[in-house]
Amino acid sequence: MPRDWLLQIEPMNLILDFTLKNTYKTRVILKNYLETFSVEDLNKIPQGYNNNIFWNIAHLVATQQILVYKFSDVPALVSDEIIAKYRKGTKPEGDVTQAEVDEIKELLFTTLDQTKKDYEAGVFKTYNSITTSMDSTLTNVDEAIAYNNFHEGIHLGSVLALRHAIGLV
């Protein structure tokens, strides 16, 4: 089969597709935890920790929205309540319900799908530069989308550690 179609794809779309596929793979792992761990286990905060498995997963949804949408001056796809509750510097304020777990489980993927559509539609026209706590300066939405994978990897590691700490391994 001729590969001429490859020449017609914008290089940035190839990078975007690759990056979002990796984000999607991380989120499939996290979704599995939301589906297989009890709500009680998702809420457990082991001694020596200041958050739980659920908070880490919800934090990823909120942070992706902040990094990609808020810093691009585009309205987020999730509620202000989710962003306020799970943004950097927060911690669990009480146990979450199954309904909240179900909402985050859905948002894991709907936000990524819409981000891809919005990117391809040219929605992200500006970006307000930010230097993250990991000392990475993001100056455009492409950098934000790429950095988000690094951030998600950190929190996947936290979820794995929490899983061990509460005895789920």
Question: Looking at this protein, which amino acid is placed at residue 12?
Answer: M
User: Which residues lie closer than 8 Å to 11 by C-beta, 6 or more apart?
Assistant: none
Query: What mean pLDDT do residues 30-36 have?
Result: 98
Which string of b and e fits 123-145 if b means at least 16 CB within 10 Å? bbeebeebeeeeeeebeebbbbb
What's the alpha-carbon Rg for the chain, to the nearest Å?
17
CA-based nearest residue to 27, from 120, 106, 81: 106
**Is 2 domain-assigned?**
no
> Which run of H or of E encompasses 18?
helix 11-36
The per-residue pLDDT for 12 is: 62
**Is 4 domain-assigned?**
no
Task: Give the pLDDT band (50/70/90) at residue 13.
Answer: confident
Residue 66 has pLDDT above 50, yes or no: yes
**Is 121 domain-assigned?**
yes
Question: With contact defined as beta carbons under 8 Å apart, do 108 and 30 qualify?
Answer: yes
The per-residue pLDDT for 7 is: 47
**Is 1 domain-assigned?**
no
Residue 8 has pLDDT above 60, yes or no: no
Q: In 10 A of CB 159, how many CB atoms?
A: 20
Q: Between these two residues, 14 and 158, which has the higher pLDDT value?
A: 158
- What is the SS3 string spanning 90-151? CCCCCCCCHHHHHHHHHHHHHHHHHHHHHHHCCCCCCCCCEECCCCCEECCHHHHHHHHHHH
Q: Looking at the 3D structure of the chain, how many domains does it have?
A: 1
CA-based nearest residue to 72, from 110, 121, 109, 21: 121
- Expressed as residue numbers, the domain containing 60 is 9-165
What are the pLDDT digits (tens) for 91-143?
Answer: 999 999 999 999 999 999 999 999 999 999 999 999 999 999 999 999 999 99
Query: What mean pLDDT do residues 56-80 have?
Result: 98
> Which run of H or of E encompasses 156?
helix 141-165
CATH number for 93: 1.20.120.450
| Model-wide pTM > 0.85 | yes
**Is 29 domain-assigned?**
yes
